[in-house]
């Protein structure tokens, strides 16, 4: 079993989602985790807490010793309010949310697009079945206000049911995961600041990497 398999198995085994994992040339191993919508955690809320990071760090330090993983420092953190979407499961989880993508090759003179994540309208059936084909409902250029959360959810639901978005109002940009360089959630903005999802006062958000442990090799 490789060190990456160990990281994924440990994180998911503790009831969290492995969002991303980075390993630098200087020996830093950085792991990004998120809470699952139906997960049971010590503290309420949707956002990762310091306690969550500490729990995962302790288990990872022990688990990585079993494969003699070569690293000097370990950092475990939340993915932040603009968390990346990398796997088909990530895209399926955030269907109906505002997402920004960066294409590998420009389309209509642009590489960056932002819109509501929806299912693919006309993608290859095999790619759609594998979760590799998706779409973005784009705001019309002449729209005087952004798409509301309720309208976004309805559009995503219609897309999943095979109901096409009204082409005279909205444009849907289809893409596959192979065609994008990066995809991230667009943080919601409120008078309290940038948030991803509603959180209770008991939440302790960890939006920056917390260095919670390490190992010297």
Look at 156 and 64; give whichever has higher pLDDT. Answer: 64
Percent helix, percent strand, percent coil in the chain, to nearest 5:
25, 35, 45
Which pTM was predicted?
0.74
The answer to whether the CB of 73 falls within 8 A of the CB of 211 is: yes
Number of other residues whose CB lies within 10 A of the CB of residue 155: 22
Q: Quick one: pLDDT band at residue 206, thresholds 50, 70, 90?
A: very low
pLDDT in tens, 14-50: 999 999 999 888 899 999 999 998 888 888 888 899 9
- Using the predicted structure, report yes or no on whether residue 100 has a pLDDT greater than 60: yes
User: What's the chain's average pLDDT?
Assistant: 81
What pLDDT is recorded for position 6? Answer: 94
């Amino acid at each position: 079993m490789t060190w990456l398999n160990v990281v994924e198995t440990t994180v998911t085994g503790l009831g969290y989602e492995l969002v991303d994992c980075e390993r630098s040339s200087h020996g830093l191993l950085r792991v990004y985790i998120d809470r699952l919508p139906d997960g049971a955690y010590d503290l309420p809320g949707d956002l990762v807490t310091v306690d969550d990071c500490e729990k995962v760090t302790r288990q990872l330090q022990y688990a990585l010793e079993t494969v003699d993983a070569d690293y000097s420092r370990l950092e475990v953190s939340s993915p932040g309010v603009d968390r990346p979407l990398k796997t088909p499961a990530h895209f399926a989880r955030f269907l109906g949310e505002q997402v920004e993508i960066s294409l590998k090759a420009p389309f209509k003179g642009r590489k960056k697009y932002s819109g509501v994540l929806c299912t693919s309208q006309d993608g290859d059936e095999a790619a759609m079945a594998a979760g590799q084909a998706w779409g973005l409902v784009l705001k019309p250029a002449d729209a005087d206000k952004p798409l509301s959360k309720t309208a976004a959810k309805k559009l995503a639901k219609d897309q999943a049911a095979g109901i096409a978005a009204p082409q005279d109002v909205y444009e849907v940009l289809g893409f596959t995961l192979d065609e994008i360089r990066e995809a991230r959630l667009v943080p919601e903005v409120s008078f309290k600041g940038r948030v991803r999802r509603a959180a209770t006062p008991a939440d302790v958000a960890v939006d920056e990497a917390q260095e919670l442990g390490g190992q010297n090799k």
